[in-house]
Amino acid sequence: MFLSLSLICLTVAILLAQVNKMTAKPIADAKAMKLQNAISEVVPEFDNDPTAEAFMMPTGEGDSLLVYPAKKENQIVGYAINSFSNNGFSGNIEIMIGFDMAHKIVNYSVLQHGETPGLGSKMTAWFKDTTKPSQSVIGRDLSQGALAVSKDGGDVDAITASTITSRAFIEAVNRAYNTYLESKEGGNNDE
């Protein structure tokens, strides 16, 4: 009985290893494509490969963010920054946010979250609605000051019934902007 169970376990382990080996490359390719699409979505038009020129930049909070410089004709036109907040209603929120060289938010893409469907998950579109300037972050110039939700004295309308998620999203945006400033001033650009 022991021998037959051992053989079954060994066979299953070998099969799982082969399946893992076969699916590793397609999974990695899909992740790379998702990353490239997120970068393309959030920065002005570029002609370089931001993923090849990516670098880590400290946030001043004891961690670092990945920064993807977008260049057009060898001039930096913006930065895509992979930011996060651990203060979402359901934990971690990860976003890719893009800034142009005039400190304005070009766009954002929510990469990962565990927020409540129909409530906090609305952040994927809520802060992009340019027909509602009080809730949209697109085009905002963060050199005028950090963003905050209106319940905290700011001028960004929180997602209805999802203030915690909204605060976490805004925290991730502000963290990205601080990193953007460091990237812009830190000599990692070719201006």
- Is residue 5 in some structural domain? no
Q: Where are the alpha helices (DSSP H) in 104-149?
A: 123-126
User: What is the distance of C-alpha 148 from the center of its chain?
Assistant: 18
- Is residue 149 in some structural domain? yes
By residue count, the chain amounts to 191
pLDDT attached to residue 23 = 93
Q: What is the pTM of this model?
A: 0.82
- Is residue 29 in some structural domain? no
pLDDT attached to residue 123 = 93
- Is residue 11 in some structural domain? no
Cβ atoms within 10 Å, residue 127: 26
- Is residue 96 in some structural domain? yes
CA separation, residue 22 to residues 4, 14, 15, 25, 34 (Å): 27, 12, 11, 7, 20
- Is residue 22 in some structural domain? no
The whole-angstrom separation of Cα 131 and Cα 46 is: 27
pLDDT attached to residue 141 = 94
Per-residue model confidence as pLDDT tens for the chain (191 residues): 899 999 999 999 999 999 999 999 998 888 888 888 999 999 999 999 999 999 999 877 778 899 999 999 999 999 999 999 999 999 899 999 999 999 999 999 999 998 989 888 899 999 999 899 999 999 999 999 999 999 999 999 999 899 999 999 999 999 999 888 887 776 454 43
pLDDT attached to residue 190 = 43
pLDDT attached to residue 10 = 95
- Is residue 9 in some structural domain? no
Tell me how many domains the chain contains.
1
Domain that holds residue 62: 42-185
Contact 139, 121 (CB under 8 A): no
- Is residue 32 in some structural domain? no
